[in-house]
């Protein structure tokens, strides 16, 4: 009789013991020296995983009794990285982070270990984001990682308006000429306008003028001067005086300015590149006057006072929520004729005009508030059914493609107003909940730390309004809450609320704001509003009127301005501020 027995995880058991022997310096027959640090190892193990070590042994005709010594330049690999590499060679496990990925790639290159290179590539793909795509592009170019190079380039191109802004320009000024040239040639470059592209070129050249002045002549040809404002053209003309052989460029600028003086003023929009970004308010879903639910997606182009239909949602709903993050708009939840509280979630690609189905929310929600903070999408509060509120805050994890519970508000609420501060904190201000059996808006401010998942500060204050308030930060620690009947300034440091005299005027149709309106802050103390119920004479027959108008409030002047009317009058649509590429004007 014969029986075969197999030890479970025997390979792992052997390697673990060999690694213990290595760390105890037992039975070693090779050593790696890095900056006076000596690491002992076994030739057979390293030869099995590293073609470099194998070739050194075979090329030098080493005997079994010989010892192999390798000296590594500390400027190329640090002692810490070599120790981590040896752990990986013996265990097959490696912890990769943004801090060590570059040295691990060097180690994979040095020891010629393609599997480690693959692990590093996978990490770069999963961790790439706006803040690191420039560094990742440098790494990808150096280590010839084409997939990462393409992803990182797209990340820079799609966020050029960020990289060329004062916030990130110092990092971007180190961009190599070959990459900068490729960006300026790209018709889909996401710039705020051609002014930003020209300013970026001038700043890039002047950052290292002696070294980069030679590139200006070639790169200048990638700028469409007809799309640049007079102010920026005159600024560029003055900067050209500090450069050699720039008279031809100055002449081109002057000819554009002369032509404009002789012709009627026209919009620069038609001259912008396809990727130039338009500040817009996007309206999604909602309910029409006779109860029919809408799936249309409309964009209001702020600069042009113009409405466009972008797309149609994959489903019809009202009381849903939306937020934008880069080139994407995220939508979720809502109510339909059959279901009050949908779980569904989708992502709309503004560049490609396409929809992607996302994993469902953990629970069905209406009147929740979606917001983007630090590039991550969150869903705050909401209702799962009439008079049933939740305090949950969900986070969407792009890498794992899943929704996770990020934390909870201090009390269950829907219809919350949310404002972000930096890339970390959400300020959740007032919301609707049950108070003594009645639906009421409560005066509460929760400061939610997205890093820790905790409400780190909770402030309560008496309120005299029922609508979702308008929010802004007047100073670093002063949160301003504006409504029709009462406005307060909340000192977050002193935890004190003071009334102010600045009130929100009623809409031009003499109606107050309520949860049925699409409301969106658009910067410069301006607020966009459209849709919403204006009258409700007979609830049973649904005999109510939905406002067909759109308005903009100038909070500095305290005045409403009537805008171009939206394509449809909608009740409870979702809305968000977004930057749409100019090519949508050609697509529609």
In a domain, 445, yes or no: yes
- CA nearest neighbour of 105 among 134, 138, 128: 138
357 in a domain, yes or no? yes
Tokens of 526: 């301006």
Report which secondary-structure segment, H or E, holds 84: helix 79-91
d(CA 326, CA 349): 9
Residue corresponding to tokens 């929520």: 321
What are the pLDDT tens digits along the chain (588 aa)? 887 777 788 777 777 878 788 888 888 888 899 988 998 888 888 888 888 888 887 776 666 666 788 888 999 999 999 999 999 988 889 999 999 999 999 999 999 999 999 999 999 999 998 889 999 999 999 999 999 999 999 999 999 999 999 888 888 999 999 999 999 999 999 999 999 999 999 999 999 999 999 999 899 999 999 999 999 999 999 999 888 888 889 999 999 999 888 877 677 888 999 999 999 999 999 999 888 999 999 999 998 899 999 999 999 999 999 999 989 999 999 999 888 899 999 999 999 999 999 999 999 999 999 999 988 999 999 999 888 999 999 999 998 899 999 999 999 999 999 999 988 999 999 999 988 888 899 999 999 999 999 999 999 999 888 889 999 998 888 999 999 999 999 999 988 889 998 999 999 988 899 889 999 999 889 999 999 987 544 444 455 689 999 999 999 999 999 999 999 999 999 999 999 999 887 665
Question: Is 150 part of a structural domain of the chain?
Answer: no
- 297, 252: one domain: no
Q: How many CB atoms lie within 10 A of CB 458?
A: 15
Q: Give the CATH number of the domain where residue 67 resides.
A: 3.30.710.10
Residue 517 sits in a domain of what CATH number? 2.120.10.80
514, 371: one domain: yes
On whether residue 153 sits in a domain, the answer given is no
Looking at the structure, do residues 299 and 259 belong to the same domain, yes or no? no
Of 271, 286, 313, the domain-final residue: 271
**In terms of Cα–Cα distance, which of 226, 216, 329 is closest to 281?**
329
Last residue of a domain, one of 241, 271, 301: 271
CA distances from 536 to 467, 516, 530, 541 (A): 17, 12, 17, 10
* Strand pairing class (306-312; 296-301): antiparallel
d(CA 270, CA 301): 14
Three-state SS for 146?
helix
Which is nearest to 51 in space by CA: 10, 123, 110, 1? 110
Based on the domain organization, do 468 and 409 belong to the same domain?
yes
Residue 289: predicted pLDDT: 83
295 and 439 housed in the same domain: yes
Q: Both 205 and 326 in a single domain?
A: no
Same domain, yes or no: 212 and 286: no
Residue after which a domain boundary falls, among 94, 110, 143: 143
CA atoms within 13 A on the CB side of 173: 16
The pLDDT score that the predictor gives to residue 244 is: 84
Do residue 231 and residue 290 come from a single domain? no
- 368 vs 382: CA distance, rounded Å: 4
Are 86 and 208 part of one and the same domain?
A: no
At residue 467, the pLDDT reads 87
- Determine the length of the chain: 588
Q: What is the pLDDT of residue 425?
A: 95
- 221: domain CATH number is 1.25.40.420
Residues 447 and 548 in one domain: yes
**Do 321 and 369 meet the contact criterion of CB atoms below 8 Å apart?**
yes
Distances (CA, A) of 315 to 293, 318, 340, 542: 9, 10, 14, 22
Domain co-membership, 322 together with 439: yes
pTM: 0.83
d(CA 417, CA 434): 17
Could you give the strand order of the β-sheet that contains 438-449, starting from the edge strand earlier in sequence?
417-421, 425-435, 438-449, 454-460
Flag whether 4 is in a domain.
no
In a domain, 451, yes or no: yes
Two structure tokens written together for 58: 């075979």
Q: Which domain holds residue 510?
A: 277-587
Q: What residues form DSSP beta bridges with 501? A: none
Contact partners, residue 254, CB within 8 Å, separation at least 6: 237
- Does some domain include residue 161? no
- Give domain status of residue 160, yes or no: no
Q: What's the domain count of the chain?
A: 3
266 plus 291 within the same structural domain: no
């Amino acid at each position: 009789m014969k029986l075969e027995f197999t030890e479970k995880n025997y390979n792992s058991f052997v390697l673990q013991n060999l690694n213990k022997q290595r760390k105890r310096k037992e039975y070693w027959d090779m050593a790696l020296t890095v900056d006076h640090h000596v690491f002992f190892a076994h030739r057979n193990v390293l030869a099995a995983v590293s073609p470099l070590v194998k070739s050194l042994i075979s090329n030098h005709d080493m005997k079994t009794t010989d010892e192999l010594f390798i000296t590594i330049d500390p400027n190329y690999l640090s002692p810490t990285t070599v120790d981590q590499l040896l752990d990986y060679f013996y265990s097959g496990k490696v912890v990769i982070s943004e801090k060590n990925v570059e040295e691990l790639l060097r180690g994979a290159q040095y020891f010629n270990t393609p599997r480690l290179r693959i692990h590093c590539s996978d990490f770069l793909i999963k961790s790439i984001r706006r803040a690191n795509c420039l560094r990742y592009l440098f790494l990808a170019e150096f280590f010839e990682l084409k997939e990462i190079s393409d992803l990182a380039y797209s990340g820079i191109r799609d966020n050029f308006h960020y990289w060329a802004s004062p916030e990130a320009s110092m990092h971007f000024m180190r961009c190599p000429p070959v990459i900068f040239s490729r960006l300026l040639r790209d018709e889909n470059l996401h710039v705020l306008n051609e002014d930003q592209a020209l300013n970026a070129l001038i700043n890039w050249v002047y950052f290292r003028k002696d070294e980069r002045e030679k590139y200006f002549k070639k790169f200048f040809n990638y700028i469409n001067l007809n799309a640049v404002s007079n102010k920026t053209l005159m600024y560029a003309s003055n900067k050209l005086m500090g450069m050699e052989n720039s008279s031809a460029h100055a002449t081109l600028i002057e000819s554009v300015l002369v032509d404009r003086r002789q012709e009627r003023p026209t919009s620069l929009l038609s001259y912008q590149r396809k990727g130039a970004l338009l500040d817009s308010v996007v309206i999604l879903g909602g309910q029409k006057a006779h109860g029919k639910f809408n799936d249309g997606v409309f964009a209001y182009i702020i600069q042009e006072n113009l409405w466009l239909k972008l797309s149609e949602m994959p489903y019809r709903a009202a009381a849903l929520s939306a937020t934008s993050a880069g080139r994407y708009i995220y939508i979720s939840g809502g109510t339909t004729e059959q279901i009050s509280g949908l779980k569904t979630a989708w992502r709309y690609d503004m560049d490609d005009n396409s929809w992607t189905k996302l994993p469902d929310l953990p629970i069905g929600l209406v009147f929740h508030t979606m917001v983007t903070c630090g590039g991550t999408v969150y869903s705050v509060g909401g209702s799962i059914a009439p008079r049933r509120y939740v305090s949950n805050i969900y986070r969407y994890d792009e890498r794992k493609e899943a929704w996770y519970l990020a934390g909870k508000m201090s009390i269950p609420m829907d219809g919350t107003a949310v404002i972000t501060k930096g890339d970390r904190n959400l300020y959740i201000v007032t919301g609707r909940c049950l108070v003594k059996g009645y639906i009421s808006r409560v005066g509460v401010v929760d400061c939610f730390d997205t890093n820790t998942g905790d409400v780190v500060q909770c402030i309560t204050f008496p309120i005299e309004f029922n609508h979702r308030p308008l929010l802004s930060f007047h100073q670093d620690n002063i949160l301003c809450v504006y409504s029709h009947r009462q406005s307060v300034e909340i000192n977050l440091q002193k935890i004190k609320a003071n009334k102010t005299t600045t009130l929100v005027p009623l809409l031009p149709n003499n109606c107050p704001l309520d949860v049925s309106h699409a409301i969106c802050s658009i910067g410069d103390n301006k607020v966009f509003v459209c849709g919403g119920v204006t009258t409700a004479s007979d609830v049973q027959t649904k005999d109510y009127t939905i406002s067909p108008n759109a308005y903009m409030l100038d909070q500095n002047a305290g005045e409403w301005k009537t805008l171009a009317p939206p394509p449809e009058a909608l009740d409870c649509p979702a809305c968000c501020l977004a930057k749409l590429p100019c090519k949508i004007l050609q697509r529609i």
